[in-house]
Structure 1
Amino acid sequence: MRRQWWVVAVVVAIALWFFANIEPVLAPFFISAVLAYLGDPIADRLETWGLSRRLSVTVVFVLLTFLICLTLLLVVPALGRQIGQLAEAIPAILNWVQESVLPKLQSLTGLDLNTDFDQMREALVANWKETSTVAATVLAQVSRSSLALVAWIGNLALIPVVTFYLLLDWDRLVAKLRDSLPRRWEPAAVRLSRECDEVLSSFLRGQLIVMLCLGVIYAVGLTLFGIRFGLLIGLLSGLASIVPYLGVIVGITVAGLVAFFQFHDPLMLLAVLGVFGFGQLVESVVLQPKLLGDKIGLHPVAVIFAVLAGGQLAGFTGVLLALPVAAVVMVVLRYLHENYKKSSLYDSSEKIGAEEPHQSEEIPPSRGDNEEPS
């Protein structure tokens, strides 16, 4: 038995070493796996309606391709324009802060904040220019290096191909993996996998759709009121909604500052509050009950820690893997905690270190009655 555990540990160590060394090529396969995981329930539903597996996968694949292309054609150019406008507006925003906000803060606090603000302004402008220069250098380097350009295009081309074949064989792969498990471990492994699927579906299917819907609501509402960078602020607020209330706080703060700076009218703050209040109403009444229900998600602190730790350990691929890995770890920890609560280590009927009750020593009867008189 001990030898078997050593074999399992060695195999796991070799697998981790292997994946750590091929980390640069994992991103397209992981993106394909996520897309296949998101599309598999739709394909299964189409199969129940009488379509073949191949035709169901084709329909789902065409739908995913259409949505991705529509996003790239409509949203990305608009975001690029608004990011460029934001870069042009940063000097004016900094001048307004220095001329209007800092004097009031200085009169209230008595502190000279101009020197520190000038240093922060220079650092911000320098870093912004350096970021633009680095991006231009990277793009130029990629365009000059035919090998890097071919590898980049090849990785993009791999995503739809791998996604299609994973969708086609998803149920078969799951069945083979379950059949390969040791018979003794299968019940526990199946139970853990179902719990992992519940948590993952809550985030990758439910929470992502909630984030997308909130981003669209915020972006459309801010744009209708004529607030600059409405699309950018709305989508970023929707993405930040992966942590409860973070998207609302960030969105109201940024959109409120932009609206006040743009219109100089306090009534526009009410418009911003109305947009985000409507988004929260839709989320609590429609999106959360319909898409998430009573599914168990990750704790907000666990989400923040997982994303930061994944980025620190494995860069962009680590950020992509952070939430699925955190969900699996949470399910495994919950399983171990349940077994611990049932074990004798947690609640033993025998008190460790307790002493046995001493039996009262009986005094032997006196032999005086049995002695013969002298």
Structure 2
Amino acid sequence: MALPVQTQVKFWSITIAILAVSLWYLGDVIMPFILGGAIAYFLDPIADRLEAMGLSRVAATVIISVLAILLFVIAFLMVVPTLVSQAVALADAAPTLLKRLEVFLIENIPSIIDEDSTIRQSLASLGQAIKERGGELVGTVLSSAMGVINIVILLIVTPVVAFYMLLDWDRMVAKIDALLPLDHRPAIRQIASDIDRTLASFIRGQGTVCLVLGTYYAVALMAVGLQFGLVVGFIAGLITFIPYVGAIVGGTLAIGLGLFQFWGDWWHLAAVAGIFMFGQFFEGNILTPKLVGSSVGLHPVWLLLALSVFGSLFGFVGMLVAVPVAAALGVVARFFVGKYQEGLLYQGLSIPEAPKTSDEGDAD
């Protein structure tokens, strides 16, 4: 005999509340495990393909881990120092850029901006605030992120967790499947399958799109000689998962910096704009259709809401899990909406009866 619905609702509500409280208090502790699980989930299809080619799970996991570590070390040695130096330099140069913008506005719109105007004073105060706080903020973030404890956690614990989770991924999935409630197993499997498909389409596909576009923007902008091109490309690629936002933010930042650096050199400005135009064409017509596929039902507003809510509640860990949780909640919501539309609560007694056939009419 199955448990009453009210008892089941209470049980699962308590379980969800316990998980939320655990995430709240153990956010920093479980961060390497969340990262490790995400990495294992991302790499599991590659391990499955290597197994299909005849390798054992252990051999596939070792090969993937060695290649991932090599790529990480190369990227860390070649990219991270330049990225950090450009980020600090951009924070230091921001007051100068704002000052040049102020001069440009004064020279070209003298009737709007004068020495005592609110806009000019705001620009001056904004530049001073960035000068005083910008470098300090970047330095604080870098120093906190590169502390000894965080280095140990992120560079040692996370890869170890990812290795073991990737090695045992299929067995863990089988164990969880065996623990599903028998009465609800078909529905849970359907929801889990839809969530996996959504995450595979969005997280894996869109993550690859972000990596490819970020690399393209950074390399192309640095090739045309734009200062801070690596930082701009990194920012544009990082937020590409929100449609149009990455291109708008990255393009605005790149063109804005290009106006100060290449003013009068219209060919370089056109090259900067062309880089983002080609990037959007390449993403919309090649990358996203091939890697992400059709729409997975994640609206940009839903993503922004999830990032804001989870970021404010759980900090950095919340932002890490915001997108997959939003995708999962979207799948669950669509499932229950479908069940609601099939039930009497939605259809009521107003369902039209099927029309009688001619044979039934003759029989009457």
TM (norm. structure 2) is 0.87
What is residue 368 of structure 1 aligned with on the other side?
Answer: none
What is residue 272 of structure 1 aligned with on the other side?
Answer: 272
Q: Are the structure 2 counterparts of residues 162 and 254 from structure 1 closer, same or farther at C-alpha, using a change threshold of 3 Å?
A: same
Q: Distance in 2 between matches of 1:183 and 1:136?
A: 49
Work out whether residues 36 and 164 of structure 1, in 8 Å CA contact, stay in contact via their aligned partners in 2. yes
Aligned residue runs from structure 1 range 150-161, under 5 A: 150=149, 153-154=152-153, 156-161=155-160
Q: Distance in 1 between matches of 2:153 and 2:247?
A: 39
Deviation per residue, 1:64-101 (Å, 9 max, x gap):
22222222111111111212332342232122112222
Work out whether residues 258 and 269 of structure 2, in 8 Å CA contact, stay in contact via their aligned partners in 1. yes
Which stretch shows the higher mean deviation, 304-313 or 268-277? 268-277
Q: Which amino acid in the other structure matches residue 296 of structure 1?
A: V
Q: 1:19: how far off?
A: 3.4
Work out whether residues 255 and 272 of structure 1, in 8 Å CA contact, stay in contact via their aligned partners in 2. yes
| Equivalent of residue 26 in structure 1, options 23, 30, 36 | 30
Work out whether residues 215 and 234 of structure 1, in 8 Å CA contact, stay in contact via their aligned partners in 2. yes
Q: Are the structure 2 counterparts of residues 293 and 136 from structure 1 closer, same or farther at C-alpha, using a change threshold of 3 Å?
A: closer
Which stretch shows the higher mean deviation, 177-186 or 268-277? 268-277
Q: Distance in 2 between matches of 1:251 and 1:3?
A: 51
Q: Are the structure 2 counterparts of residues 349 and 235 from structure 1 closer, same or farther at C-alpha, using a change threshold of 3 Å?
A: same
| Equivalent of residue 120 in structure 2, options 114, 119, 141 | 114
1:181 aligns with 2:191: no
What is residue 284 of structure 1 aligned with on the other side?
Answer: 284
Which stretch shows the higher mean deviation, 163-172 or 263-272? 263-272
What is residue 164 of structure 2 aligned with on the other side?
Answer: 165
Over the aligned positions, Cα root-mean-square deviation in angstroms equals 2.3
Q: Distance in 2 between matches of 1:109 and 1:350?
A: 66
Q: Distance in 2 between matches of 1:221 and 1:164?
A: 34
Q: Distance in 2 between matches of 1:139 and 1:257?
A: 29
| Equivalent of residue 64 in structure 1, options 65, 68, 73 | 68
Q: 1:56: how far off?
A: 0.9
DSSP 3-state at the match of 2:298: coil
Q: Are the structure 2 counterparts of residues 244 and 151 from structure 1 closer, same or farther at C-alpha, using a change threshold of 3 Å?
A: closer
Work out whether residues 198 and 295 of structure 1, in 8 Å CA contact, stay in contact via their aligned partners in 2. no
Q: 1:134: how far off?
A: 4.0
What is residue 128 of structure 1 aligned with on the other side?
Answer: 134
Q: Distance in 1 between matches of 2:238 and 2:168?
A: 31
What is residue 313 of structure 1 aligned with on the other side?
Answer: 313
Work out whether residues 102 and 120 of structure 2, in 8 Å CA contact, stay in contact via their aligned partners in 1. yes
What is residue 218 of structure 1 aligned with on the other side?
Answer: 217
Q: Distance in 2 between matches of 1:331 and 1:312?
A: 23
Deviation per residue, 1:306-333 (Å, 9 max, x gap):
1111110000000001011111110110
Q: 1:117: how far off?
A: 2.1
Q: 1:63: how far off?
A: 2.0
Which stretch shows the higher mean deviation, 13-22 or 186-195? 13-22
**Count of aligned positions:** 344
What is residue 201 of structure 1 aligned with on the other side?
Answer: 200
Deviation per residue, 1:285-323 (Å, 9 max, x gap):
321222112251511111111111111000000000101
Q: 1:350: how far off?
A: 5.2
Q: Are the structure 2 counterparts of residues 229 and 15 from structure 1 closer, same or farther at C-alpha, using a change threshold of 3 Å?
A: closer
Q: Are the structure 2 counterparts of residues 63 and 109 from structure 1 closer, same or farther at C-alpha, using a change threshold of 3 Å?
A: same
What is residue 99 of structure 2 aligned with on the other side?
Answer: 95
What is residue 38 of structure 1 aligned with on the other side?
Answer: 42
TM (norm. structure 1) is 0.85
State the identity %.
37
Which stretch shows the higher mean deviation, 169-178 or 286-295? 286-295
Q: Are the structure 2 counterparts of residues 349 and 202 from structure 1 closer, same or farther at C-alpha, using a change threshold of 3 Å?
A: same
- What stretches of structure 2 of length at least 5 have no aligned partner? 352-364
Aligned residue runs from structure 1 range 72-91, under 5 A: 72-91=76-95
Q: Distance in 1 between matches of 2:150 and 2:95?
A: 38
Work out whether residues 260 and 266 of structure 1, in 8 Å CA contact, stay in contact via their aligned partners in 2. no
Work out whether residues 222 and 234 of structure 1, in 8 Å CA contact, stay in contact via their aligned partners in 2. yes
Work out whether residues 260 and 268 of structure 1, in 8 Å CA contact, stay in contact via their aligned partners in 2. no
- What stretches of structure 1 of length at least 5 have no aligned partner? 143-148, 352-374
Q: Distance in 2 between matches of 1:208 and 1:218?
A: 15
Work out whether residues 83 and 232 of structure 1, in 8 Å CA contact, stay in contact via their aligned partners in 2. yes
What is residue 300 of structure 2 aligned with on the other side?
Answer: 300
Work out whether residues 199 and 295 of structure 1, in 8 Å CA contact, stay in contact via their aligned partners in 2. no
Q: Are the structure 2 counterparts of residues 329 and 115 from structure 1 closer, same or farther at C-alpha, using a change threshold of 3 Å?
A: same
What is residue 260 of structure 1 aligned with on the other side?
Answer: 259
What is residue 334 of structure 2 aligned with on the other side?
Answer: 334
Q: 1:258: how far off?
A: 1.5
Deviation per residue, 1:143-177 (Å, 9 max, x gap):
xxxxxx45752454211111111011100110111
Q: Which amino acid in the other structure matches residue 195 of structure 1?
A: D
Work out whether residues 92 and 135 of structure 2, in 8 Å CA contact, stay in contact via their aligned partners in 1. no
